[in-house]
Amino acid sequence: MELSEQFMEQMRAILPAAELQAFAAAMGRAATVSIRRNVTKSSDFIDGFRPVAWCDKGVYLEGREAFTFDPLLHGGCYYVQDASSMILHHIAAAVSGGQAVRWLDLCAAPGGKSTAIIDALPPGSRVVANEIVAARAAVLAENMAKWGTPAVAVTSASPAEIGQRLGGAFDVVSADVPCSGEGMMRKDAEAVAQWSPALVAQCAARQRSIIDDVWPALRPGGYFIYSTCTFNREENEKMVDYVVERYGAESLDLRLPAAWGLRAGIDTPHHCYRFMPHLIEGEGLFVAVLRKPGSGAPMTVKPERSVKRLAPYATLLREPMSIVERRGTVVGTPPDGFLATVAQAVRTLSEGVALGAVKGKNFVPDARLALSTALNREAFPTAEVDYAKAVAYLRGEAIGLAEAPRGFMAVTYEGVALGFVKNVGNRANNLYPQPWRIRSSHLPPAPPCLVAPAR
């Protein structure tokens, strides 16, 4: 990878001269590989991995594994995520302070930061993961379904729509905004090829627009978490300066340990944190936490009651939820009504737990129900499969289940639910969603051995 002279000139203005060579050398090295486990679906990592200092649920691997062919990844037991981005887990725990919050992750696809946030929040919290680009929103919805947390909605709306229709709705808004991607250059050749000062200026203008549009959705006294994966000051410190000056926000000192190796903001009086690849193991990241002035509770919402004819489907869940219908799908949604209010305000891909669809006299369970931590595991018989059969299932192939009862069954691998089949006797019809299926016919001799599933 060859970095342009214009880019290096920019970095000379940011870094001390003594560090520039170390930075260039770090940008030439291979990126680190790290994963973060799902606290609800795994009990621990397999021994031997080095921990990520700022996230007790994250570890570094020695190299890339055959993640695509690990059923536990598809079952939501862990997420492959750059270590720097895992700081959102630490920040979420800090700003929530042990209190349930309503959280908007504005630019959420593909879902790494959202899942890190979810696992750090206390019970009773509600998370809205949003992505404006339709194709990316579909990937986000898939990853949220696999993570399995029921108190989550996935939306696909513009920041302006959210700001206008959900004023004061959220205690916290996090925005990992679209940026020039300088921090991803050693992982993405396109980021190197497309970089220019004009791109930086274009991104900065877009970031100001995003902040202006979504700011009304944050309640007075709420927290705004701004992050990028780039190095320049225009998209980082100057954007924090803009929010403080325009909206009277207060930057928060997170008091992060010096041993973590994070760099403070450059030429700004405000609290900012930089992950620089020559100082930490991870990619470039910038993050700051800002508090909106004032105080006040988030907007009030009406509780949502179960639709009477659908109430019997509540037995499919192991926790109380309102049972309603959304676009032909029976859904379990938190009864406080917050996610339902969001779904009424903006385009929503998923909300709570999709249970299935009523087709004539039959009920066909949804794969998202199998993956949800809210599933009542007694509601369906299970078919535990070996590795080869699990991968075949994830490819969408019909699988044989000897001596299994007829009807709908949950397919499990090492006790982790992957989805449903309908066993018709001589075969089991595969109900795994077509867009999620593994495309490759390759089968490694053994799956990666990374996490221990919860039992």
**Cα dist from 22 to 29, 146, 279, 418, whole Å:** 11, 39, 9, 45
What is the mean predicted confidence (pLDDT) over 252-281? 97
Mean pLDDT of all residues belonging to the chain: 96
pLDDT surpasses 90 at 347? yes
Question: Comparing C-alpha atoms, which of 169, 168, 138, 170 is closest to residue 155?
Answer: 138
**Cα dist from 115 to 7, 85, 111, whole Å:** 33, 11, 6
For residue 426, give the amino acid letter. N
For residue 27, give the amino acid letter. M
Q: Is residue 337 classed as helix, strand or coil in its secondary structure?
A: coil
- Is residue 388 within a helix (H) or strand (E), and if so which, with residue range? helix 387-394
Burial of 24 (C-beta count, 10 Å sphere; 0-12/13-18/19+): middle
**Cα dist from 398 to 46, 374, 393, 423, whole Å:** 31, 27, 7, 10
Question: Comparing C-alpha atoms, which of 369, 367, 298 is closest to residue 337?
Answer: 298
**Cα dist from 46 to 77, 299, 450, whole Å:** 13, 44, 5
pLDDT tens for residues 395-445?
A: 999 998 878 899 999 999 999 999 999 998 878 999 999 999 999 998 888
pLDDT tens for residues 61-107?
A: 999 999 999 999 999 999 999 999 999 999 999 999 999 999 999 99
**Using 50, 70 and 90 to split pLDDT, how confident is the model at 367?**
very high
Q: Does residue 294 contact residue 306 with C-beta atoms inside 8 Å? A: no
pLDDT surpasses 80 at 455? no
Class of domain 5-27+87-291: alpha beta
Identified catalytic residue from 107, 229, 272, 449? 229
359: how many CB neighbours lie within 10 A of its CB?
9
This prediction has a pTM of 0.96
386: which residues sit within 8 A by CB, 6+ positions away? Answer: 413
pLDDT at residue 446 in the model: 85
Rounded Cα distance between 254 and 290, Å, is 11
pLDDT tens for residues 23-73?
A: 999 999 999 999 999 999 999 999 889 999 999 999 999 999 999 999 999
Q: Does residue 270 contact residue 241 with C-beta atoms inside 8 Å? A: yes
Rounded Cα distance between 438 and 69, Å, is 8
pLDDT tens for residues 231-265?
A: 999 999 999 999 999 999 999 999 999 999 999 99
Domain ranges, ordered by start, for the chain? 5-27+87-291, 380-438
> How is residue 296 written in tokens?
């006040």
> How is residue 191 written in tokens?
């980021």
Q: Does residue 243 contact residue 211 with C-beta atoms inside 8 Å? A: yes
**Using 50, 70 and 90 to split pLDDT, how confident is the model at 1?**
low
- Per the annotation, the verdict on 449 as an active-site residue is no
Considering the domain delimited by 380-438, tell me its CATH architecture: Roll (2.30)
